[in-house]
């Protein structure tokens, strides 16, 4: 990393949000020699969508991010490895159990074949540009057409298992349905080499945050400070009306009316928060290209439902209990006929996974509109419904649940969702670049450059949705400022 010259030491920089993007940016700026960096975080604690808790025992549960995706070139994998934070457990002998409603166990062999075909089709869409036939399609239609060409489509349960695969993929895409996701553009997302699912050890993702926090003094992080307005370009506004130029072009105002002046503000709030508040948050308003990007990029909800039982009722080699519905929401006809109200009732969960270090806990996954509806229900109602589903699908003797813990990312006022995706018909790279662009857009002599910068997972064209995408976006924007001051120092 290049060290910024002395000129940067006086620059006042405010980072909004202390998730991975905000923390990596602050840490990078401090290491480069910037002395006036502050982080304003709305929540009582830092981490954002990294949220390690201990609700049941002394062992951790991750309500947000769980895995580090990919190894080679992944800075978080490198940090985890260097600090010995990776899990040493591996449960390679365990496997998923697939059930149809009514307690019928599905053939492991058939499930393996369908899952493997599904993975191949997704890899095809991710690795190469899709042929003309599929390019403008949504991901659901592309998968359906491709699957129809396979003999597995003729088997009795193949199509149902394929639909389960699609539903499960919705969790990765954070979408209500794959019929809403672009098919061709999942190739812009880059899978880093090495295992895709790398688990952290007993301190979970919190341990990664702790490493970053070592470089960020606690006194510069101000928690419980929700920002409500960012006034920028104040020099321009005051020019002509007052003879004296303001020394700082930006004023950041919190909900409690406390305010902070700055030369640069780095906004790392989620795309969900921008969708809700960007219209009122910025003064002057954000340019049209930025507002269009905020509107058109997708930001969906994925939630986890943790069920804690008094004893384990599943076999020891079980990695997950997967529910294969007769008629699910990824069936085109069902998708087309569903209203938002009734969707969740029949088809809201695609499976329950076992949870590391918690031998009697299962984690259910729910996405999209169904997740948003589930979030409005009482924990006990959700827990009881899950137990009914487990009983009717497995036919096993399932005890009542003793504790329930649910994430509610869609209604979290500091996130409003889980992560971003590229909807069908949207040019993802173009919109992500517009989202990441610093303001003012043109380097006009009368306006101070790089006043408002943007980072966060949704601004990364190749690693959006991920923790490493968030981390790298923070470094990108810190580096932009470092370069800015380095270039300045070079000019006479
Ligand atoms: C359920 C779930 C599972 C996931 N699983 C994985 C996984 O296994 N692997 C993976 O790589 N990724 C995963 N992710 C995604 C990953 O967690 C995120 O991409 C990443 O943490 C985003 O970091 P960020 O800094 O961009 O945003 P955030 O973490 O959202 O940080 C933004 C911060 O801004 C704060 N903020 C918001 N509004 C304001 C305001 N007005 N004023 C001040 N502060 C504000 C927020 O409180 C927050 O702390 C998962 C996410 C979820 C929700």
d(Cα 25, Cα 13) in Å, to the nearest integer?
Answer: 11
Across 236-264, average pLDDT: 79
CB 262 within 8 A of CB 469: no
Q: Is 470 in the pocket of ligand 1 (CB under 6 A)?
A: yes
Q: Is 43 in the pocket of ligand 1 (CB under 6 A)?
A: yes
DSSP secondary structure string for all residues of 181-249: BBSGGGGGS-PPSS-S-EEB-TTTTHHHHHHHHTTS-GGGEE-S--EEEEE--HHHHHBTTBSSPPS-S
pLDDT for res 246: 65
Q: Is 41 in the pocket of ligand 1 (CB under 6 A)?
A: yes
pLDDT for res 271: 98
pLDDT for res 465: 96
d(Cα 456, Cα 20) in Å, to the nearest integer?
Answer: 8
Give me the domains of the chain, ranges plus CATH numbers. 6-50+205-298+417-490 (3.50.50.60), 53-200+302-411 (3.90.660.10)
Q: Is 51 in the pocket of ligand 1 (CB under 6 A)?
A: no
pLDDT for res 132: 67
Which of 52, 65, 171, 213 for a ligand 1 pocket mutation test, highest count of atoms within 8 Å of Cβ?
A: 65
Tally of CA atoms within 13 A in the half-sphere of 209 that contains its CB: 20
Q: Is 367 in the pocket of ligand 1 (CB under 6 A)?
A: no
pLDDT for res 343: 53
Q: What is the pLDDT of residues 447-485, one digit of tens each?
A: 788 999 999 999 999 999 999 999 999 999 999 999 999
Across 387-402, average pLDDT: 95
Q: Is 407 in the pocket of ligand 1 (CB under 6 A)?
A: yes
Ligand 1, residue 23: give the atom nearest the CA.
Answer: 25
Ligand 1, residue 46: give the atom nearest the CA.
Answer: 49
Across 221-232, average pLDDT: 98
Average pLDDT score over the chain? 90
Q: Is 420 in the pocket of ligand 1 (CB under 6 A)?
A: no
pLDDT for res 92: 63
pLDDT at 180 over 50: yes
In degrees, to the nearest 5, what angle opens at C-alpha 87 toward C-alphas 204 and 170?
A: 65
Which residues have CB under 8 Å from 199's CB, separation 6+? 66, 67, 86, 87, 89, 356
pLDDT at 6 over 70: no
pLDDT at 416 over 80: yes
Min mean pLDDT across 182-196, 237-251, 344-358, 411-425 is at 237-251
Q: Is 17 in the pocket of ligand 1 (CB under 6 A)?
A: yes
CB 404 within 8 A of CB 382: yes
Q: What is the pLDDT of residues 136-170, one digit of tens each?
A: 889 999 999 999 999 999 999 999 999 999 999 99
pLDDT for res 491: 38
Ligand 1, residue 254: give the atom nearest the CA.
Answer: 42
Which of 419, 432, 435, 459 for a ligand 1 pocket mutation test, highest count of atoms within 8 Å of Cβ?
A: 419
Q: How far is the CA of 19 from the centre of ligand 1 (A)?
A: 6
Q: Is 62 in the pocket of ligand 1 (CB under 6 A)?
A: no
pLDDT for res 239: 47
Q: How far is the CA of 374 from the centre of ligand 1 (A)?
A: 20
d(Cα 383, Cα 256) in Å, to the nearest integer?
Answer: 38
pLDDT for res 135: 74
- Cα-Cα end-to-end distance for the chain: 24
pLDDT at 242 over 60: no
Q: What is the pLDDT of residues 318-338, one digit of tens each?
A: 999 999 988 777 888 777 777
Q: What is the pLDDT of residues 54-90, one digit of tens each?
A: 999 999 999 999 999 999 999 999 999 999 999 987 6
Output DSSP code: residue 344.
Answer: H
Q: Is 52 in the pocket of ligand 1 (CB under 6 A)?
A: no
Across 304-320, average pLDDT: 96
pLDDT for res 340: 61
pLDDT at 131 over 80: no
pLDDT for res 327: 77
Q: How far is the CA of 139 from the centre of ligand 1 (A)?
A: 25
pLDDT for res 349: 87
Among protein residues, the one whose CA lies closest to atom 11 of ligand 1:
466
The first and second tokens of residue 285, run together, are 């308003």
Ligand 1, residue 473: give the atom nearest the CA.
Answer: 26
Phi, psi (degrees; rounded to nearest 5) at 402? -95, -35
Which residues have CB under 8 Å from 461's CB, separation 6+? 188, 428, 429, 432, 433
């Amino acid at each position: 990393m290049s060290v910024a010259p002395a000129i940067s030491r006086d620059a006042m920089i405010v980072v909004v949000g202390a998730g991975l993007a905000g923390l990596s940016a602050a840490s990078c700026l401090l290491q480069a020699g910037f002395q006036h960096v502050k982080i304003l975080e709305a929540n009582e604690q830092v981490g954002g969508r990294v949220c390690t808790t201990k609700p049941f025992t002394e062992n951790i549960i991750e309500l947000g991010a769980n895995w580090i995706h990919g190894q080679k070139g992944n800075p978080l994998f490198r940090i985890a490895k260097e600090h010995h934070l990776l899990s040493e457990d591996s449960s390679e002998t365990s496997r998923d159990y697939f059930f149809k409603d009514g307690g019928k166990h599905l053939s492991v062999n058939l499930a393996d074949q369908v899952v493997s075909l599904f993975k191949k089709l997704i890899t095809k869409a991710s690795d190469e540009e899709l042929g003309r036939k599929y390019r403008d399609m949504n991901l659901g239609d592309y998968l359906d057409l491709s699957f129809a060409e396979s003999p597995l489509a003729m088997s009795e349960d193949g199509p149902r298992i394929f639909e389960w695969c699609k539903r499960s993929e919705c969790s990765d895409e954070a979408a209500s349905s794959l019929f809403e996701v672009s098919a061709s553009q999942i190739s812009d997302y880059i899978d880093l080499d090495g295992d895709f699912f790398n688990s952290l050890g007993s301190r979970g993702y919190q341990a990664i945050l702790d490493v970053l926090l070592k470089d960020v003094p606690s006194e510069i992080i101000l928690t419980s400070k929700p920002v409500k307005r960012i006034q920028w370009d104040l020099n321009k506004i005051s020019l002509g009306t007052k003879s004296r130029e303001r020394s700082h072009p930006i004023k950041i105002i919190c909900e409690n009316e406390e305010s902070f002046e700055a030369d640069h503000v780095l906004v790392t709030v989620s795309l969900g928060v921008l969708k809700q508040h960007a219209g009122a948050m910025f003064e002057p308003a954000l340019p049209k290209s930025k507002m269009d990007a905020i509107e058109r990029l997708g930001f969906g909800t994925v939630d986890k439902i943790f069920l804690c039982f008094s004893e384990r009722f599943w076999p020891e080699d079980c990695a997950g209990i997967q529910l294969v519905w007769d008629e699910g929401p990824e069936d085109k006809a069902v998708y087309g006929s569903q209203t938002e109200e009734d969707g969740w009732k029949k088809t809201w969960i695609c499976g329950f996974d076992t949870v590391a270090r918690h031998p009697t806990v299962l984690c259910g996954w729910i996405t999209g509109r169904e997740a948003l509806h589930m979030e409005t229900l009482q924990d006990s109602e959700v827990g009881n419904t899950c137990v009914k589903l487990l009983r009717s699908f497995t036919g096993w003797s399932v005890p009542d649940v003793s504790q329930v813990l649910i994430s509610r990312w869609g209604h979290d006022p500091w996130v409003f969702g889980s992560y971003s995706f590229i909807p069908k018909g949207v040019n993802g790279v173009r919109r992500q670049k517009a989202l990441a662009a610093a303001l003012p857009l043109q380097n006009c002599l009368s306006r101070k450059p790089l006043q408002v910068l943007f980072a966060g997972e949704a601004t990364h064209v190749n690693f959006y949705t991920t923790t490493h995408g968030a981390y790298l976006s923070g470094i990108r924007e810190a580096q932009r400022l470092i370069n800015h001051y380095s270039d300045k120092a070079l000019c006479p």
